[in-house]
Amino acid sequence: MEGKKRETFSGSITIFLATLGSAVGLGNIWKFPYLTGENGGGAFVLSYLFCVLLVGIPIMVGEFYIGRRSRKNAVGAFSKLNAPKFFKSIGYFGTLSAFIIMFFYSAVAGWVYSYVFKALTGKFNLLRSMPMEKAVKFTSDTFAFTASGNLYPMLWQAVVFIIVSIILMAGIKNGIEKVTKILMPLLFLLIIICDIRALTLPKAPEGLNFLFHVDISKLSKSVILTALGLAFFKLSLGMGTMITYGSYFTEEEKLINTSMRVALSDTLVSLLAGIAVFPVVFQFGMEPSGGAGLLFKTIPLVFSKMPFGNILLAAFFLLASIAATTAMISMVEVPVAFISEEYKINRKLSVLITTSIMFIIGVLTVHPNSIFGAVKILNRSFFDNFDFLSSNILLPLGGLLIAIFIGYFVLKENLKDELLKGYSSEKVNMVSAYRFIIRYVTPILLLVVFLNSIGII
Ligand code: TRP
């Protein structure tokens, strides 16, 4: 690529949609509702919003800065910016995180894909005539089979990797950019239809109360750490995805504005997903803390008695699959870019190597019935350990290093120069405020939550 002009996204709208395409994924539709359920509702949601505001947005701006200033991949960027060698570890850890996240993310994506198929083939038709209790049991049995059947989940995980590989090999820009432009708004529309349906259930107020009523007594170390981890996971931060995307931004793009728009839209999608799920949970007397299966046990019930319910159900999971797929692509792209650029391996081969390793280790570890599926470390399955290790340790650690780099190693003039691009007036106060936050607020918050969680303070 040296000597050739590096490609950029075509403009502000594409930048917004591509970045939002990375952020919006299973994190919103699957993780947010079930973590809110497990962590006591409103208090968790509020901590999450704080984490997005004080940690997520500042770090996203930082990643965009590193990407656009260097116009390089997550490892190369730090050499280009003359960072101390040590900061390159952000790129290496990022590559590791991409693998660890993909081991389980691809399995969940497989569940989502399989629900599209189930809806289309009429698996949920029976629900229409079932009494409530039987319907609840039917959806939870269906989920159990989807996630822990013998070969079934592995086959769907293979389908996920085949699709991700094909798209990555074909090059993402033309395909994904165009596809997300139509499908992201559609996803939005379908979630709103789900919301309307959920909100008209008699017990909707209980669901909303759970989601929005803040009960401070529910706050604990682990609730706050989980909220922080979710903010990283949700906004694709701490592992170089946003550095890579930032490196494709145009010179006029306003980095602070973009971060805020992406973070707010992403949060809106999460809240809308929560509004679709919790009224159903309370209506059907389910446990909010039901864990990873929550989405799969509730959404089929939302649609079961509606006209065209099957089609809407298929459409909902189809769009969830697309959201998951665009997010996965942004994740897998980090190791692919790294391997192909740093080791000069052809891009298609890099994709093949990366996805094969992800698939093999993923299949062997995350399914309850596979070889290592029953192994527990620290009392947690591989699935949970991968999830915990990435969201609660690797991503926040990457974020901390990014904050330190931006706050203490980037010259104020350079930061000002880059962040003010695109503005017609000199918004010096904005840059000073940002610099204050990234120097003092973000890293200190991160450290406190972090040290707290490992029991040091
Ligand atoms: N943000 C995506 C989601 O919510 C997942 C994701 C994509 C991600 N790229 C990432 C998470 C990079 C962490 C790091 O589903």
The per-residue pLDDT of the chain, averaged, comes to 89
Q: Is 259 in the pocket of ligand 1 (CB under 6 A)?
A: no
Q: Are 214 and 43 in contact (CB under 8 A)?
A: yes
Q: Does residue 397 carry a pLDDT above 70?
A: yes
**Which pLDDT belongs to residue 83?**
92
**Which pLDDT belongs to residue 158?**
96
User: Average pLDDT for residues 183-204, to the nearest whole number?
Assistant: 87
User: Average pLDDT for residues 175-197, to the nearest whole number?
Assistant: 79
Per-residue confidence band for 175, with pLDDT thresholds at 50, 70 and 90: low
Distance 34 CA to ligand 1 centre (A): 16
- Percentage of the residues of the chain whose pLDDT score is greater than 90: 57
**Which pLDDT belongs to residue 172?**
55
In angstroms, rounded to a whole number, what is the distance separating the alpha carbons of residues 47 and 53?
10
Backbone angles phi, psi at 275, to 5 degrees: -65, -30
Q: Give, using CA atoms, the residue closest to atom 4 of ligand 1.
A: 27
Q: Does residue 1 carry a pLDDT above 50?
A: no
Which residue did the predictor score with more confidence, 437 or 382?
437
| Maximum pairwise Cα distance, the chain | 67
Ligand 1 pocket mutation, candidates 90, 104, 234, 265, criterion most atoms within 8 A of CB: 234
In angstroms, rounded to a whole number, what is the distance separating the alpha carbons of residues 358 and 161?
9
Ligand 1 pocket mutation, candidates 233, 333, 390, criterion most atoms within 8 A of CB: 233
Q: Are 319 and 269 in contact (CB under 8 A)?
A: no
CA 167 vs. chain centroid, Å, equals 19
Ligand 1 pocket mutation, candidates 236, 265, 336, 386, criterion most atoms within 8 A of CB: 236
Distance 206 CA to ligand 1 centre (A): 30
For every residue of 217-263, DSSP letters joined together read GG--HHHHHHHHHHHHHHTT-SSSHHHHHHTTS-TT--HHHHHHHHH
**Which pLDDT belongs to residue 254?**
96
Distance 331 CA to ligand 1 centre (A): 7
Per-residue confidence band for 342, with pLDDT thresholds at 50, 70 and 90: confident
Q: Are 153 and 111 in contact (CB under 8 A)?
A: yes
Long-range pairs for 145-153 at CB < 8 Å and ≥24 separation?
A: 146/111, 146/114, 146/115, 146/296, 147/107, 147/111, 147/292, 147/293, 147/296, 147/367, 147/368, 148/367, 148/368, 148/369, 149/369, 150/369, 152/114, 153/107, 153/110, 153/111, 153/114, 153/367
Which residue did the predictor score with more confidence, 170 or 130?
130
User: Average pLDDT for residues 180-192, to the nearest whole number?
Assistant: 81
